[in-house]
Amino acid sequence: MEEFFQQLTNGLAVGGIYALIALGYTMVYGVLKLINFAHGDLFTIGSYLGLTLLTSLFLSDRLGPGAGIVVLALMVMGLVALVGALLERVAYRPLRHSPRLSAVVSALGASIFFSNTLMLIYGARFQVYPQGILPKTAIDLFGLYVPLVRVLILGASVVMMIALYAFIQKTKIGTAIRAAAIDQDAARLMGIDVNRVILMVFLIGPALGGAAGLMVGLHYGQINFTMGWVYGLKAFTAAILGGIGNIPGAMVGGILLGVIEALGAAYLSIAWKDAIAFGVLIFILIVRPTGLLGERVAEKV
C-alpha cells in the first residue's frame, strides 16, 4: 500500500507538468483547430531561458530563494509568451485561411527550427541547472516520503490551472476566447477582435509551457534541446485524453496520464509503460471518441 501511494505521488508530479503543457495544445486547438507542434519546443525554450536568467542575474542571491524563483518564473513566462506570439505572427497567421494541413506542416517546421536554434545557441550537450536552488527537504506524510519540490510543482501547476480556468470563465477576454472557440465568424460579427483573441491564446499557452519548462529544469536539473519532443508528445496525448479543445479536460488528462504511467510502471511493466498509457488512450477514445470531457467538440461537429 505504501508503494502505491508513493507511486501515486510520483505520477501526480509528472502529471501536473503534462497538464500545464497540454493546456497550450488544447487552447490553440480550441480556437484555431490547429495542433501546434512547436508547443513542446516552447516548453524547451522556457527551460533554457530559465537557466540563462538564473545563472546570469543571480536572482536567488539578490531576492532570496523564494522571491527569486517567483520573479524568475514571471520573466520566463513573459519571454516565452513573446516567442509564442511571434510564432503565431510569423508561422500561423499568414496561413490562417490556407488548408489545415499547411498550418500543420508550418508547425512542424517551426518545431524543427526552434530545437535546432537552441542547439546552435547552447550547444548539443546537456545543460544542467545549478544544484541546490530548491530546498532538498522531504515531507513525511504518514510514513510516505515525498520531496517538498514535488509537492511545490504539483501545487504551482494546480494554482496556474485554476487561475487560467477562472480567467477563461469569469473575465471578458476569457468569454471572448470561448466565443471564438465556438464560432470564429459569429464571434467576429458580435464585435470580438478575433485576431486579438488568437494572440491572447498564443500568449497564455506558451507562458504556461514556459513555466513547465522552468519547473522541469529546476527539479530534474538536466535539459537538452530535444526534450520538448517527448514532453510535447505526452502532453498532446493528455490533451486528447481529456478531450482536445477543452481546458478542464487538459488538466484532467495530464494528471491522469501521469498517474497511469506511474502505476502502469509499478504494477505491470516498466518497459511497457508507454504502451499502457497509449493503450488507455485508445480505449478511452473507443468508448468516448471526444475524450473524457470533450463534449463540446462533438456538438460542433
Partner 1 sequence: MKKGLIALMALCLLVGGAMAAMADTVKIGLMGPMTGPWASEGQEMKQVLDLLAADLNAKGGVLGKKVEVIADDDGGDPRTAALAAQRLATQGIVAVIGTYGSSVTEATQNIYNESKILQIANGSTAIRLSEKGLKYFFRTCPRDDEQGRVAVQAIEKLGFKTVAILHDNTTYAKGLADEAKGLLEGKGIKIVFFDALTPGERDYTAILTKLKGANPDVVFFTGYYPEAGLLLRQKKEMNWNVPFIGGDATNNPDLVKIAGKDAAQGFYFLSAPLPKDLPSPEAKAFLDEFTKKYGNAPNSIYAVLAGDGFRVITAAIQATQSTDPDKLADYLHKELKEFAGLTGKIAFNEKGDRVGEVYRVYKVDAEGNFILQP
Which stretches of the chain bind partner 1, using CB under 8 A? 3, 6-7, 10-11, 13-14, 116, 119, 123-126, 128, 131, 136, 138, 145, 147, 216, 220-222, 224, 226-227, 229-231, 261-262, 265-266, 269-271, 273-274
Minimum CB distance to partner 1, residue 106 (Å): 21
Nearer to partner 1, 29 or 236 (CB): 236
DSSP 127: E
Report strand pairing: 138-141 vs 144-147: antiparallel
Contact 141, 12 (CB under 8 A): no
How far is Cα 210 from Cα 246, in angstroms, rounded to an integer?
Answer: 20
* Closer to partner 1 by Cβ: residue 36 or 224: 224
Residue 288 to residue 46: CA distance in whole angstroms: 34
Q: How near is the Cβ of 196 to partner 1 at its closest, in Å?
A: 35
Q: Which is nearer to partner 1, 198 or 215 (CB)?
A: 215
Q: How far apart are CA 32 and CA 45, in angstroms?
A: 23
Query: CB 16: neighbour CB atoms within 10 A?
Result: 24
What is the smallest separation between the CB atom of 14 and partner 1, expressed in angstroms? 5
Give me 136's grid cell. 532538498
Nearest distance in Å: CB 19, partner 1: 14
Q: What interhelical angle do 194-220 and 2-32 show, nearest 10?
A: 150
The nearest distance, CB 132 to partner 1, in angstroms, is 8
Q: At its nearest, how many Å lie between partner 1 and the CB of residue 199?
A: 31
Nearer to partner 1, 92 or 225 (CB): 225
Helix (H) or strand (E) holding 56: helix 39-57
Residues counted in the chain: 301
C-beta of 213 vs 249, nearer to partner 1: 213
Residue type at 27?
M
Of 116 and 169, which CB lies nearer to partner 1 in the complex structure? 116
